[in-house]
A and B are shown apart, each in its own frame.
Chain A
Amino acid sequence: MSQSELTSGKQGDGKHLDEMTLLLYVERQLDRENAQEVSLHTQTCTRCLTLLRVLDRESRLLTRAMFEADEPLPARLAEFQAQVKRSMRWIWGVVFGLAMLGIYALYTGYIEPWQMQLEQAGFGSTNLLNLLLFQGAFWKGWQSMFTLLEAIALMATMGVALFAFRRYVRRGSALAMMLASLGVMVSFASPASATETRKGDTVEIKKDEVIKSDVFLSGEHVRILGTVEGDVYAFGQQVDVSGHVNGDVFCFAQSARVSGQIDGSLRSFANNLTISGTIEHSVLAFNQVINLDSNGKVGRSMTMFGETATLDGKVDRDVLAYFKQLSVSGTIGGSLQGKGESMSIGSGAVISGSTKFQGPKEPSVASDAKLASPVQFKLAEHKSSGMRGSGYYIWRVIFTGAFVLLGLVLISLMPKFAMETVQAAENLGASFGLGVLVLPGVFIAAIVACITVVGLLVGISAFFLWLFVLISAEVVVGSVVGQWIMGKSTELWPLVARMAVGVIAVRVVTSLPWVGGWAALAVVLWGMGAVSLALYRRLQPVMAPNIPSVPMGPMGTPLPANTTVGGV
């Protein structure tokens, strides 16, 4: 500060120095000339001297306040310390090697044989996921589109995983060990398998042969004439089960026929499936054509997806069918529920439960068919979004009430998390971005988990979590919109009121013709992203109680206040 500045810093009648000048003096920021002037002034001016000393004491008080009340180093930071100390960058090299080993083993041990088996079965698929979801005998065409979607979705999944676990990825030794373990596990898992495997052009289990374990069979022609006491996994162009299987049968084939007995269930993925034998449990079939012959019997229920189905045999319990054409002339012990283009019930049909059909035209029912109740037909309508009946709006109102109720329950059960989610939703960019990743990513991840070694439990749990978040998205967005309309609040009931108003507003917008669908998509992306963001923040490690503080080093010693005041 120059001389003129210092002079202008004098206040009032020019007798006193201003606070800024005195502070700079206390802070030793004045040049020598100005400092001398201040020093001289304070020797004769009691007021300025007092203020100078007070500013000095204020500095000391500030320093003392900042150094006192030592908080223990949180457990999370203590862990980080241990990790910094133990950090081993070299382990990534090892991990990379092990991971490569694992991937190679996985490919040669599992993927390649399965791929060959599937190809032999007539499925020219690149992987199992692709086969099950996007192509094969059941849905034709769209292959390139779905492959692209699948790749994008999987990349999104990886992105979500990296984002969610980036903190742990940074502190990588735990992840490194996990990857290494996985690699090693995959490498050595194969020899431990007790399942019998047979492959060749023609694979046959002879009539008098008994296999006491599970069996994998693959070939152009697969025949089971004998007995298998475990499960059967069959891959082939033609699969014929005429023997006896005590467990379940999983069948991937162009043409499959069951003329023997299966004590468990049948899971069939084939172009054509014919059942003329007995299946004690249920049938789940994704087939283009399915025939339950008059001799065929299913002990429990049947669930079918495909084009043409003919049920001439006996099903002891319910039948659920999604087919283009369904023909029933056999016996159904439970109810029949069908959805498709046409359904006919023949003269020999017996249906003990209710019969429901949804399609573009009424089903044809033979006069002598024995039905426990008349067919309940529901016309499948294809209305455009601009032509909605009153029923649509009534249901919208009912669902709005349901969403408000859901929001009330969620906010009441998890008020803190609800607040955090709403706060996260206010971060529009991050929420939308995360929503774009989570919406397809978690869904695909759940499916991948279901069909890989991760397991059904994890996959189904992830799917239901995904579904729950999807449903809750509207409540989250409603809460934010409600706050925009009515102002912010952190208390429970005002928050519920805002949520209710917001949900109604959101439902109105999403009900609009033409734009409503896009608005609903935006709401889902936004809400899912917000929940994910809040969850991510919640999943950060928290401070554990009673963790002793790390001993303070010399830096823990309070610094001396920078308050030397020359001449005072």
Chain B
Amino acid sequence: MSAPGKTEPLELIVRARTGDTQAWGDLYREFAPAIFRFCRRAMPTKEDAEDATMEIFMKLRDKIEQYDQTRSFTAWLYKVAANHCWDMLRRRKLRQDKETEDVTEMPLECPEPNQLEKLIEERTSEEVRKALDKLGVRARMALVMRYYSDMSYDEIADALGVRRAFVGVVLLRARHELRQAMGQNSALAAGGLR
């Protein structure tokens, strides 16, 4: 799951485990921007993202011993971050999504491919980001985990506390919410595209 060509910072991790403060500083410098950006996408406000970033790195100090060096550090770090952010959101009772059972019961209309294509072509990244901010907490969290940190369905299921089979449903519903937010007045928003 790590970025292509990226070397895992194994040496830094080994040194950090021994309490090398220089190594901690280097790890922070290398990974903090990406984790902050992850939090910025996942959390409702910038202040929340800052808090979450700091807390994730403080948590990292305690959890670094649990890291399995045979696996991707980046993936593991994102998992820690996702779990932390989701915990924060859950603690604050900001979950606005419906329960999984409700999600599965609500049918989703299949969009008209051409209209969906037109919508996606017309939307800029900025508009997508604005639409993301309007999503429910779980929908946004799922999209961020999948399309920002490239987490697997198993990892997303684990973080969100849902069965793996529901992850696809959560993601699809999140996409529908996003489309609705991107084009409030389009026919897509009504879900009647066939």
Which A residues are within 8 Å of any B CB, using their own CB?
Answer: 11, 16, 18-20, 23-24, 27, 29, 47, 50-51, 53-54, 57-59, 61-71, 73-74, 76-77, 80-82, 84-89, 170, 540, 543, 549-550, 552-557, 559-562
Residue contacts A-B, CB under 8 angstroms, 17 given: A23-B168, A24-B168, A50-B113, A51-B111, A57-B117, A61-B125, A63-B147, A63-B148, A66-B129, A66-B132, A71-B37, A71-B40, A74-B46, A84-B21, A84-B24, A84-B25, A552-B33
Number of A-B residue pairs having CB atoms within 8 Å of each other in the complex: 160
Neighbouring B residues of A16 by C-beta, 8 Å: 110
In contact, A70 and B37 (Cβ under 8 angstroms): yes
CA distance A553 to B8 in the complex (A): 12
Assess whether B181 is interfacial by the CB under 8 Å rule: no
CA distance A562 to B5 in the complex (A): 16
1/0 per residue, CB under 8 A from A, across B86-117: the answer is: 00000000000000000000001011011011
Contact residue among A58, A61, A559 (Cβ-Cβ distance under 8 Å from B150): A559
CA distance A19 to B194 in the complex (A): 11
Assess whether B82 is interfacial by the CB under 8 Å rule: no
In contact, A555 and B111 (Cβ under 8 angstroms): no
Assess whether B32 is interfacial by the CB under 8 Å rule: yes
In contact, A85 and B31 (Cβ under 8 angstroms): no
Neighbouring A residues of B40 by C-beta, 8 Å: 71
* A23 and B171 contact, Cβ closer than 8 Å, known pairs A69-B126, A77-B32, A89-B19: yes
Neighbouring B residues of A553 by C-beta, 8 Å: 29-31, 33-34
CA distance A47 to B111 in the complex (A): 11
Neighbouring B residues of A11 by C-beta, 8 Å: 110
Task: Tell me how far the C-beta of B9 lies from the nearest C-beta in chain A, rounded to whole angstroms.
Answer: 9
In contact, A54 and B24 (Cβ under 8 angstroms): no
Neighbouring A residues of B57 by C-beta, 8 Å: 80, 84
Excluding A68-B129, A81-B28, 17 further A-B contacts by CB distance (< 8 Å) are A16-B110, A19-B111, A50-B117, A54-B117, A58-B120, A58-B175, A65-B128, A74-B36, A80-B53, A84-B25, A84-B57, A85-B26, A85-B29, A88-B21, A89-B19, A550-B33, A557-B6
In contact, B117 and A65 (Cβ under 8 angstroms): no
Which B residue sits closest to A79, measured CB to CB? B54
* A562 and B148 contact, Cβ closer than 8 Å, known pairs A61-B125, A77-B32, A555-B34: no
Neighbouring A residues of B117 by C-beta, 8 Å: 50, 53-54, 57
Q: Among B6, B147, B168, find the residue whose CB has the most chain A CB atoms closer than 10 A.
A: B147
Which A residue sits closest to B74, measured CB to CB? A555
Interface size class of B (residues with CB under 8 A): 35 or more
In contact, B21 and A85 (Cβ under 8 angstroms): yes
* A77 and B3 contact, Cβ closer than 8 Å, known pairs A66-B147, A69-B129: no
Which B residue sits closest to A81, measured CB to CB? B28
Neighbouring A residues of B190 by C-beta, 8 Å: none
Q: Among A53, A69, A85, find the residue whose CB has the most chain B CB atoms closer than 10 A.
A: A85
Task: Tell me how far the C-beta of A511 lies from the nearest C-beta in chain B, rounded to whole angstroms.
Answer: 35
CA distance A24 to B172 in the complex (A): 9
In contact, B54 and A67 (Cβ under 8 angstroms): no
* Residues of B contacting A: mostly: helix
CA distance A71 to B148 in the complex (A): 15
In contact, A20 and B172 (Cβ under 8 angstroms): yes
Contact residue among A20, A24, A66, A170 (Cβ-Cβ distance under 8 Å from B148): A66
Assess whether B71 is interfacial by the CB under 8 Å rule: no
Which B residues are within 8 Å of any A CB, using their own CB?
Answer: 2-7, 19, 21-22, 24-26, 28-34, 36-37, 40-41, 46-47, 50-51, 53-54, 57-58, 74, 108, 110-111, 113-114, 116-117, 120, 123, 125-126, 128-129, 132, 143-144, 146-148, 150, 153, 168-169, 171-172, 175, 178
Which A residue sits closest to B121, measured CB to CB? A57
CA distance A81 to B74 in the complex (A): 18
Give me the 7 closest cross-chain CB pairs, A-B, nearest first: A85-B25, A65-B128, A555-B34, A50-B113, A65-B125, A51-B113, A553-B30
Neighbouring A residues of B114 by C-beta, 8 Å: 50
CA distance A235 to B87 in the complex (A): 59
Task: Tell me how far the C-beta of A90 lies from the nearest C-beta in chain B, rounded to whole angstroms.
Answer: 10
Neighbouring B residues of A70 by C-beta, 8 Å: 33, 37
Contact residue among B51, B110, B123, B169 (Cβ-Cβ distance under 8 Å from A61): B123
In contact, A550 and B29 (Cβ under 8 angstroms): yes
CA distance A561 to B146 in the complex (A): 10
Task: Tell me how far the C-beta of A25 lies from the nearest C-beta in chain B, rounded to whole angstroms.
Answer: 11
* A69 and B125 contact, Cβ closer than 8 Å, known pairs A85-B28, A554-B3: yes
CA distance A65 to B125 in the complex (A): 4
Which A residue sits closest to B143, measured CB to CB? A62
In contact, A27 and B168 (Cβ under 8 angstroms): yes
In contact, B50 and A86 (Cβ under 8 angstroms): no
Which A residue sits closest to B78, measured CB to CB? A555
* A51 and B116 contact, Cβ closer than 8 Å, known pairs A540-B47, A550-B32, A554-B5: yes
CA distance A302 to B111 in the complex (A): 87
Neighbouring B residues of A24 by C-beta, 8 Å: 168
In contact, A59 and B147 (Cβ under 8 angstroms): yes
CA distance A63 to B120 in the complex (A): 13
In contact, A556 and B34 (Cβ under 8 angstroms): yes
In contact, A20 and B32 (Cβ under 8 angstroms): no
In contact, A54 and B116 (Cβ under 8 angstroms): yes
Neighbouring A residues of B46 by C-beta, 8 Å: 71, 74, 543
CA distance A475 to B126 in the complex (A): 41
CA distance A431 to B25 in the complex (A): 37
In contact, B28 and A555 (Cβ under 8 angstroms): no
Which B residue sits closest to A76, measured CB to CB? B50
CA distance A19 to B110 in the complex (A): 6
Neighbouring A residues of B50 by C-beta, 8 Å: 74, 76-77, 543
Task: Tell me how far the C-beta of A414 lies from the nearest C-beta in chain B, rounded to whole angstroms.
Answer: 19
Neighbouring B residues of A85 by C-beta, 8 Å: 21-22, 24-26, 28-29
CA distance A61 to B31 in the complex (A): 24
In contact, B32 and A68 (Cβ under 8 angstroms): no
Neighbouring B residues of A53 by C-beta, 8 Å: 117
Q: Among A54, A89, A556, find the residue whose CB has the most chain B CB atoms closer than 10 A.
A: A54
Neighbouring B residues of A71 by C-beta, 8 Å: 36-37, 40, 46
Contact residue among B36, B51, B110, B175 (Cβ-Cβ distance under 8 Å from A18): B110
Neighbouring A residues of B19 by C-beta, 8 Å: 89
CA distance A549 to B37 in the complex (A): 12
CA distance A502 to B33 in the complex (A): 45
Neighbouring A residues of B153 by C-beta, 8 Å: 27, 29
* A73 and B33 contact, Cβ closer than 8 Å, known pairs A11-B110, A63-B147, A543-B50: yes
Which B residue sits closest to A5, measured CB to CB? B165
In contact, B6 and A554 (Cβ under 8 angstroms): yes
